[in-house]
Homo-oligomer: A and B are copies of this chain.
Amino acid sequence: MPQISEKGQHLPASPIRKLTPFADKAKQDGKKVYHLNIGQPDIATPEGMLNAVKNIDFNIWAYTASEGTLAYRKKLTEYYNKHGYNITPDDILVTTGGSEAIVIAMMTCLDAGDEVIIPEPFYANYNAFAGQGDIVVKPILSVIENDFALPKASEFEKVITPKSRAIFICSPNNPTGHLYTREELEELKALCIKHDLFLLCDEAYREFCYDGRQFTSPMHLDGLDEHVIMIDTVSKRYSACGARLGCLITKNKQVWQAALKFAQARLSPGMVEQIAGEAAIDTPDSYFEAVSKEYTARRDTLVSALNKIDGVYCPTPGGAFYVVTKLPIDNADRFCQWLLEDFTYQNQTLMLAPATGFYSTPGAGLNEVRLAYVINQDDLKKAMVCLDEALKVYPGRVVNAARVAAHVE
């Protein structure tokens, strides 16, 4: 029997999805499972976007241009320029979800053995995308005690080598919810210019900034045009994860042209999605205002409930719809599986994502989990009651877990 690749053997399973069989079993056994593991919002997709799908009027479901239709790229340009990006349709490459944009950006900038520096914890699949091209991820630790702020430039300097080609950030951050400030981005800019590095930025959660905080993109900074490759998706912005429609934006023409060749190999992004994406740009501001209000309330409910549980610490993040929280547990993977397999409270349990999968450093995040606040507030409250009860009886509870001192905003 032929053997599969080393790559196929060693690729870690998704920390967000690997516990799914246990959740399925729990549900089969009649348990109610609160899904806080996955970033699949329960918010309705804008009607205009769905209506665009219902109103398609073509006879042939055809390929589009590999870089995306001009109509969609023009419409996207409107959206980005409203947000101060100062781009043209020629700077945009439409992709099949943000995932494909990341893969293409990585392959365009890095060869096998080249290094990309990513503050950890980070979205677990970056590891998988890098691994596909044998690209080396060099993590640098951001810590819960410091609200997962960007590590100091000196920390980056420690891991920069002649093989370093790029820094990769995600803001607002998945999994931590941290929103990078303009000052943090200016530090990254200095590093990228000094060491001639690309700066890849995943902005999937741009629309999710709370408490009046302002979103800043590396594309807003002067003098960084040749360095920045921005990655985006409609998944979270319009609660349209299943549309698989994203884009890669860069003003570096050499990068764009090379990225196009990778895009040409896979022929075309989805046609119906691009039609829907065009319509999505006309989503009224009131949609985002309502969504932001809802998520802010959920975050406050969640963070407040978490911090009331004995031995738990959770910062109050400025964006996205995730938190990473510290729990009084021995091992997050064991705990999350135990919740589904062995625990029940009033016939309910919850599914969480172990934070270990978001760290590249072995052993990091062992007592942390990621929660996505993508369920309604009533269910969130019930889920937190469940978590409280679970922590009381979990056999791997660590009683003397160092409680983090007062959280300073």
Contacts and interface: CB of A to CB of B under 8 A. Distances in A.
A266 interface: yes
Contacts of A59: 44-45, 50
Contacts of A44: 59-60
Interface in A234-250: 238-244
Interface in A1-44: 1-2, 4-9, 11-14, 17-18, 38, 40-44
Contacts of A160: none
Contacts of A133: 7, 132-134
Interface in A116-162: 125, 128-129, 132-134
Contacts of A282: none
Interface of A: 1-2, 4-9, 11-14, 17-18, 38, 40-45, 49-50, 53-56, 58-64, 66, 96-97, 99-100, 103, 107-112, 114, 125, 128-129, 132-134, 165-166, 192, 196-198, 226-227, 238-244, 252, 254-255, 258-259, 261-262, 264-273, 276
24 contacts: A2-B165, A2-B166, A2-B226, A4-B254, A5-B114, A6-B111, A7-B107, A8-B255, A9-B258, A11-B261, A12-B261, A14-B261, A18-B264, A40-B63, A42-B60, A44-B59, A49-B61, A54-B54, A54-B55, A96-B244, A99-B266, A128-B261, A128-B264, A241-B268
